[in-house]
A = this chain, B = another copy of it.
């Protein structure tokens, strides 16, 4: 007599406001750190993935949509890009994209949770890629808020804020006091870049981030794109600078240096992504 085995299919779903987004796969590891719950999961669709506190953070075959969007408008636009600061980004993806520019001399990566770094290196090594062995990378397991507070004025050409949603350990990264400190340690001609949530599923938080940055900097503009593993799939990144919105105008030599290996990003794509501000967000920002 034959016995039928039904293959076990597992799903992990992220729940958000009456919506859930799930990926089929196999659980590799789950652990609790002093900061959060970390899950490593092998998905059928996007390769190995990382969740923090049950929220999808990154996946091998999807991460380019997020990292290319966060990094290249800042790195292509800033006059100088010698010294870079990344707050968060323990998966290594942001560092990898920064280190593709030969002009970059050092990247300080400040991640609060050593286990995010260790598990990313072990299970999602492609995301950090060459960054992990690049001598220009300075890895610091520290609180990003303290790091910024204790850093001298005018230290960085570009600051990248690569944090999770503004709940849990990342909450402070979207507040006035922290962002004001970031401006202090950023050089006058530098660019600050931050992920700025979804205008659709994190509507008010999205508006607040832009408004705070507009209080602190001369220019701050949101750019829109797609990250299918994040709530609503519609995501945003906001860039800020003094005197000129330099993040809008990529420097041609840098565009040439990186374009071939980008999955999503191109000069044309970026130009479009700054324009695709949804009409309702544009109206709401105009009404202050």
Contact = CB atoms under 8 A, between A and B. Distances in A.
A265 B279 CA distance: 6
Interface in A221-265: 224-226, 228, 232-234, 259, 262-265
A277 B282 contact: no
A28 to B, nearest CB: 16
A34 interface: no
Contact of A276 (B25, B201, B272, B277): B272
A280 B20 CA distance: 28
Interface of A: 11, 13, 17-25, 43-45, 200-201, 224-226, 228, 232-234, 259, 262-266, 268-269, 271-280, 282
Contact of A232 (B233, B269, B275): B233
20 contacts: A11-B20, A17-B45, A18-B25, A18-B43, A18-B45, A19-B22, A20-B22, A200-B226, A226-B233, A228-B232, A259-B279, A262-B279, A263-B278, A264-B279, A268-B282, A269-B275, A269-B279, A271-B275, A272-B272, A272-B274
Given A228-B233, A272-B275, 17 more contacts: A11-B20, A18-B25, A18-B44, A19-B21, A19-B45, A20-B20, A201-B228, A228-B232, A228-B234, A232-B233, A265-B279, A266-B279, A269-B275, A271-B272, A272-B273, A272-B277, A273-B276
Contacts of A264: 278-280
Contacts of A224: 226, 272
A280 to B, nearest CB: 5
| Of A200, A201, A272, A282, most B-chain CB atoms within 10 Å | A272
A275 B275 contact: yes
A21 B21 contact: yes
Contacts of A23: 18-20
B17 A13 contact: no
Nearest to A227: B233
Contacts of A44: 17-18
A228 B232 CA distance: 5
Contacts of A200: 226, 228
Contacts of A274: 272
Nearest to A25: B18
A225 B25 contact: no
